[in-house]
Each structure stands twice: as C-alpha cells, then as structure tokens.
Amino acid sequence: MRSTLRRAKNILLKANRGVGIADKFFLLLNCLENELTATSNLAKTAKQIFWKNQTIKLNVLHACCDKQCILVIRSQNHADTEVLAEFLAGGLYYEAPQTTNYIVDCGANIGLFAIHAGLLFPNAKLVCYEPEPKNFELLQINLEANGILADCRKCGVWSSAINGFFHPAESFNGHISLNPSAYPIRCEVPEITPQTWLKLDVEGAEYEVLPKILSQRSRPQIIAMEVHDYHRRGQLIRDMLIAAEYKLTTVTDGSPAPESAIISAC
C-alpha cells in the first residue's frame, strides 16, 4: 500500500499543472484501484460515482506550449494513467526537434505523444501506427477532440510489408511477431524523410524496423524511442544509431539491468 501511495503522489505531483481537483481525484482512484477491496465503502462509492463510464475526459494545460487540450483515458487503466502523467510533465521523456514538417508515431497507443507533437508542430504531417484495436479507437478520439489531423493506420511496423501477428497478452501493451496468434495484423515500413521526427515505442519490433529505416537514403532528423529488452540487446540499437552518426541521450530507471530505456538520437 505504501508503494502505491508513493506512486499516486508522484503522478499527482506531475499532474499538478493545469489539472483540477476533480481530475486529480480521478487519477488518484486509478492509482489506488487495486488497493480498494470489494467490501470497501470508498471503493463502492467511487465506482458508482466516478467509474460508471468506461472513460475519463480531462481538460488539461499542455506543459510545453501552454495550450489547452482534451485527453480521454480509460478508467482503471494503469497504462493510460502513467502515460498521462508523463504527458502532463512535459512530453513523455522525448526531446523535440527545433522544427519539423513530418512526424511518424510508431506505437501511438492512445495518442498522447501524437497530441504533444501535433500541438508543437500544427502544420506538420502526422502519421500514426497503432495495432491494438482499443488503443486505436481511443487514438482517433483523442486526436479528433483536439482538432489534430493525422493519417492513422491500424497496423504495425516491421522491416518489410508483411502480415504479422499481434500478441496482446504477452507484454504490457502487446507486441507483434511472426509467430502465429489469433490476431493477424498488417505491418508496414514507415516512410521517412530527412525532416522526420520519428517516435518508436513498438514493444520489441524496434530490433526489426530500425535497421531497415537506417539503411535507407533518407534518415530521420531525430529519433525518440523506447528500447525494450535493453539489458540484453539494447547495445545493438545503440551501435546502429552511433554507426549512423547520431548523438545519443539515454534515460533508464537506474537499475543494474534495466528492462527498457528511452533513447533520443539527434
């Protein structure tokens, strides 16, 4: 319970700017939902009042450009709450370019990075890839709510245009591989221009798609990515980016063998 309270406090502190008391209470309930027992009056009351709908609609102030935006997240969904907290903190760890006319969001999830990028560069073309159906639906809702135009593709990214398979239960947000599953999914190689701001958060598929991207004549201006299985294979990604003459900034959780890392490559 103590660790859950610390986690809730950190998320609420990050959400301090531009978020009202009612919205903070929503976030707090999301953080504590596993600690509330079925017989708890607080749990029953909270669910009756606040969780009768499947989604929560928040009006927040974007930390980077002081613009109001609308965010829709799922109630009782820790992944949505955590990515929302990072959005409120100022941009999901990712370093932004000075300017860009083309943004590619691979692993767009529910659209918070796409909103962040779209607000920073409203005239840039935005392409979003998201294979998970429920995430894709919320991605479209969030972009439309903020008046952000994007080419949203319900597919994955890979080293070639293939039919892969989505595995929804084998990682936090699901992943794509060539191993058969009940969920076939189309995959593409994202189109890249020299002015591209590329974001990759694709649950391991970065080891497939990044070599293909870097082998092309046009390479991204800046790459912002989450590298999975970092403690075992992350050096492969680093070596590829360094060989392509990118300068790297890396953020991990500080553990001796981090499962993932955030890399910005410029």
| pLDDT one-digit tens code per residue, 134-180 | 999 999 999 999 999 999 999 999 999 999 998 886 445 788 989 99
Is this structure's pTM higher than 0.95?
A: no
CA dist 57 and 14 (Å) reads 18
Q: How far is CA 172 from the centre of its chain?
A: 12
CA separation for the pair 157, 119 (Å, rounded): 24
Backbone angles phi, psi at 39, to 5 degrees: -95, 0
Looking at residue 261, the DSSP 8-state letter turns out to be E
Q: How far apart are CA 214 and CA 265, in angstroms?
A: 12
Report the pLDDT value the prediction gives residue 136, as an integer from 0 to 100. Answer: 96
Q: Which CATH number fits domain 93-266: 3.40.50.150, 3.30.465.10, 3.90.1300.10, 3.40.50.1100?
A: 3.40.50.150
Helix orientation angle between 2-14 and 21-32, rounded to the nearest 10 degrees = 150
Cα angle, residue 82 at apex, residues 78 and 83 outer, rounded to 5°: 120
Share of residues in the chain with pLDDT > 90 (%) = 55
For residue 133, is pLDDT > 60? yes
- Which one, of 211, 254, 197, lies nearest residue 230 by Cα? 254
| DSSP reduced 3-state for 188 | strand
Return d(Cα 97, Cα 111) in angstroms, integer: 19
Q: Tell me the pLDDT tens digit for each residue of 76-117.
A: 777 787 777 777 765 555 678 899 999 999 999 999 999 989
Token digits of residue 129: 């890839």
Return the H-helix or E-strand segment holding 185: strand 184-188
Residue 228 and residue 204 in contact, taking contact as beta carbons nearer than 8 Å: yes
Instruction: For the chain, give every residue range classified as CATH 3.40.50.150.
Output: 93-266
Question: What average pLDDT does the chain have?
Answer: 83
Report H helices in 51-155. 78-89, 112-120, 133-145
Where helices occur in the chain by DSSP H, the ranges are 2-14, 21-32, 41-49, 78-89, 112-120, 133-145, 206-215, 230-243
Per-residue confidence band for 214, with pLDDT thresholds at 50, 70 and 90: very high
Closest to 261 measured CA to CA, from 223, 210, 226, 224: 226
3-state class of 100 per DSSP? coil
